[in-house]
Amino acid sequence: MKSSGNNTDTKCVLQEFQQHQYAFTATIRNPEQRATPPGIEERRMDIYRELVYNNIEDLLANFFPVLKQVTPEARWHSIVRDFVANHKSKTPIFMKLGEEFVSYLQNEFSPQTDDPGFLIELAHYEWVEIALNIANEEPEWETINYRGDFASEIPYLSPLAWLLYYQYPVHRIGPDYLPAARSAIHLLVYRDNSDEVQFMEMNPITAHLLNVIKLNSQSETKRCGMQLLQQIATDLQHPKPDIVISGGLQTMQEWFERDVLLGTYK
């Protein structure tokens, strides 16, 4: 019986300690809504609040430098404070804080009338570079023919090549260029074999070609490059399919030289 009583006491103490922790972290995250817990000097609490906020804000400023540049300072801090106060992050890893911020902007953020329409897309675009830098996907190198023929064999797309679509030209946004109107673009973002992240603007036809290659690589019945290009020529109802095919093969070769295509399937 005595042992049982000690266990109950320990459990109660642990619950009290946890409640104190929750109150402590709550006032750090949202000092305007959560009061300082009893027994903690306000001056000390302010130091904790400032340290936590400044660390998070500094990380986000480094992850999203253009977004911070083009956002008025007061509005930037308002957004960051709301993120700190209300977003429930799913990971403690610093390098993934950018992904958490993008998730917050896409799902929880409430834009104001003065916020630019491109704000969320710009954040996503800046996050992509971080995401590709830390991505650990590896090609199945043993299945790749580095000297393959794209016309007669199946193109092998790098898992570190991402095709993106935006309603604004996010890759050109900066203090000197703040588009008010939408102007849709396709961007290819990829990590090359030197582990450098590269960006390439694409026209709708080359974007379609890359998407067809991606879908083909995910299919159980894969088709060779010639078959893919013939299908694209048919889809476009192009009067001279040979032009589509020769241009497509040339584009594939250029992508191979840039490490977007790694070769063909063996």
Q: How far apart are CA 104 and CA 117, in angstroms?
A: 16
Q: How far apart are CA 165 and CA 152, in angstroms?
A: 30
Boundary-marking domain end, from 107, 134, 161: 134
The CA-based angle 51-56-77, given to 5 degrees, is: 95
Boundary-marking domain end, from 67, 100, 134: 134
Whether residues 153 and 98 fall in one domain: no
For residue 145, tell me if it sits in a domain: yes
Whether the per-residue pLDDT at 1 is higher than 60: the answer is no
Whether residues 148 and 246 fall in one domain: yes
Contact 199, 187 (CB under 8 A): yes
pLDDT of res. 163:
98
Residues ≥6 apart with Cβ < 8 Å to 196 = none
Contact 125, 111 (CB under 8 A): no
Q: How far apart are CA 251 and CA 147, in angstroms?
A: 16
Long-range contacts of 66-75 (CB under 8 A, 24+ apart): 66/122, 66/126, 66/173, 66/174, 67/119, 67/122, 67/123, 67/126, 69/174, 69/175, 70/116, 70/122, 70/173, 70/174, 70/175, 70/178, 71/119, 75/112, 75/114, 75/115
For residue 36, tell me if it sits in a domain: no
What pLDDT digit, counting tens, does each position of 75-102 carry? 999 999 999 999 998 888 888 999 999 9
Beta bridge partner(s), residue 156: 263
Which H or E run includes 9?
Answer: helix 2-29
Range of the domain at 256: 141-265
What pLDDT digit, counting tens, does each position of 180-214 carry? 999 999 999 999 999 999 999 999 999 999 999 99
For residue 210, tell me if it sits in a domain: yes
Q: How far apart are CA 63 and CA 127, in angstroms?
A: 7
Q: What is the DSSP letter of 177?
A: B
For residue 23, tell me if it sits in a domain: no
Whether residues 125 and 76 fall in one domain: yes
Taking the model in full, what pTM does it have? 0.85
For residue 9, tell me if it sits in a domain: no
Span between the terminal Cα atoms of the chain, in Å: 71
pLDDT of res. 198:
97
Q: Considering the chain, what is the average pLDDT of its residues?
A: 90
Which CATH number characterizes residue 146's domain? 3.90.930.50
